[in-house]
């Protein structure tokens, strides 16, 4: 069996995780460039945890300029098997009010500027992504939220927009009428890259507002988000503490296949592979690239 290592990516308002023991900072070099920040690695009880603030400490990096490949590669290099991503979001449903945590299980990718794969010319791969969220990992997150009395909704579709501007009214109305649940700016390509790296992935989308579609609440502005974000961040830390405390010691096989996503996914024959790209894939795909 494989030892479980819990990765946490902190979104807006979450730049540190109090409660970690035996903490050490690690600057991880990756072939894809620099991650958003140094990893903070520690433990909660027997659970090993690696934490990365997505936007960097002090919120230095906007969504479109995050080096998602470096972030996921760095987490893979320190042994992360399961990754829970916290993200601020806008709501398209009245009942998903600010302060609610939405455990989304599907995505619509509307980003246009981001590198969305580790693979490319010289090593082509196509992983299954029909079920982007690991059901067993999501169930652990849901259990932790319920145990802590945190208001949450399980399931839903998140639209990931490019940003950094918030939605136009037309965009917001369109997505709301299409039946999507929340909108944010960071799950893509993060979820795709986690799947390619065979890391099981789950998202906690923390509602801060109703985007632009809601006639009563009006358009979004940063000033209106800050107080909600502070409360969400406090609950996120509470959720993390419970999740880490109860996390299994061994990696649970993923019903969505994330832990074996690269089995049969690489199409390029060994003799045709680009050695330079293969070298960059050592952490992400070394398990399968070593096979002949």
For residue range 217-238, what is the model confidence (pLDDT) as tens digits? 666 666 767 778 889 999 999 9
Classify domain 5-289 by CATH architecture.
Answer: 3-Layer(aba) Sandwich (3.40)
Return the domain boundaries, the chain: 5-289
Q: CA 102, 94, 144 angle in degrees (round to 5)?
A: 25
pTM of the model: 0.95
Note the pLDDT of residue 1. 74
Note the pLDDT of residue 292. 60
DSSP 3-state of 228: helix
- Rounded Cα distance, 146 and 197, in Å: 30
How does DSSP assign 132-177, residue by residue? -S-HHHHHHHHHHHHHTT--EEE--EEEEE--SSPPPHHHHHHHHH
Q: Which of 82, 109, 211, 259 is catalytic?
A: 211
**Percentage of the chain surpassing pLDDT 90?**
86
- For the stretch 108-154, pLDDT in tens is 999 999 999 999 999 999 999 999 999 999 999 999 999 999 999 99
Note the pLDDT of residue 216. 65
What lies within 8 Å, CB to CB, of 223 at 6+ separation is none
- 64 near 162, Cβ under 8 Å? yes
Mean pLDDT, residues 257-267: 96
DSSP 3-state of 48: strand
- For the stretch 33-80, pLDDT in tens is 999 999 999 999 999 999 999 999 999 999 999 999 999 999 999 999
What lies within 8 Å, CB to CB, of 270 at 6+ separation is 292
What lies within 8 Å, CB to CB, of 59 at 6+ separation is 12, 15
Q: Which of 37, 82, 181, 209 is catalytic?
A: 209
**Percentage of the chain surpassing pLDDT 70?**
97
**Residue 211 annotated in active site:** yes
């Amino acid at each position: 069996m494989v030892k479980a290592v819990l990765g946490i990516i902190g979104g807006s308002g979450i730049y540190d995780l109090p409660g970690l023991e035996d903490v050490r900072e690690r600057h991880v070099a990756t072939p894809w460039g620099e991650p958003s920040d140094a990893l903070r690695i520690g433990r909660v009880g027997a659970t090993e945890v690696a934490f990365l603030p997505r936007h960097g400490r002090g919120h230095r990096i906007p969504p479109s300029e995050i080096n998602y490949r470096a972030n996921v590669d760095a987490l893979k290099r320190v042994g992360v098997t399961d990754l829970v991503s916290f993200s601020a979001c806008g709501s398209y449903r009245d009942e998903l009010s600010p302060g609610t945590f939405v455990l989304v299980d599907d995505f619509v990718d509307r980003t246009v500027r981001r590198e969305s794969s580790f693979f490319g010319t010289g090593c082509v791969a196509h992983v299954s992504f029909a079920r982007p969220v690991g059901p067993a990992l999501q169930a652990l997150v849901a259990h932790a939220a319920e145990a802590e009395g945190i208001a949450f909704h399980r399931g839903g579709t998140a639209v990931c927009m490019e940003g950094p501007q918030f939605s136009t009214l037309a965009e917001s109305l369109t997505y709301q009428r299409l039946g999507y649940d929340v909108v944010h700016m960071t799950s893509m390509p993060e979820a795709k890259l986690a799947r390619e790296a065979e890391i099981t992935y789950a998202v906690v989308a923390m509602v801060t507002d109703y985007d632009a579609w809601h006639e009563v609440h009006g358009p979004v502005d940063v000033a209106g988000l800050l107080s909600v974000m502070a409360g969400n961040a406090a609950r996120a830390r509470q959720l993390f503490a419970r999740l880490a405390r109860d996390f299994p010691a061994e990696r649970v096989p993923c019903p969505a296949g994330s832990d074996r996503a690269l089995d049969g996914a690489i199409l390029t024959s060994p003799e045709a592979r680009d050695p330079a790209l293969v070298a960059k894939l050592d952490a992400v795909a070394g398990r399968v690239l070593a096979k002949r």
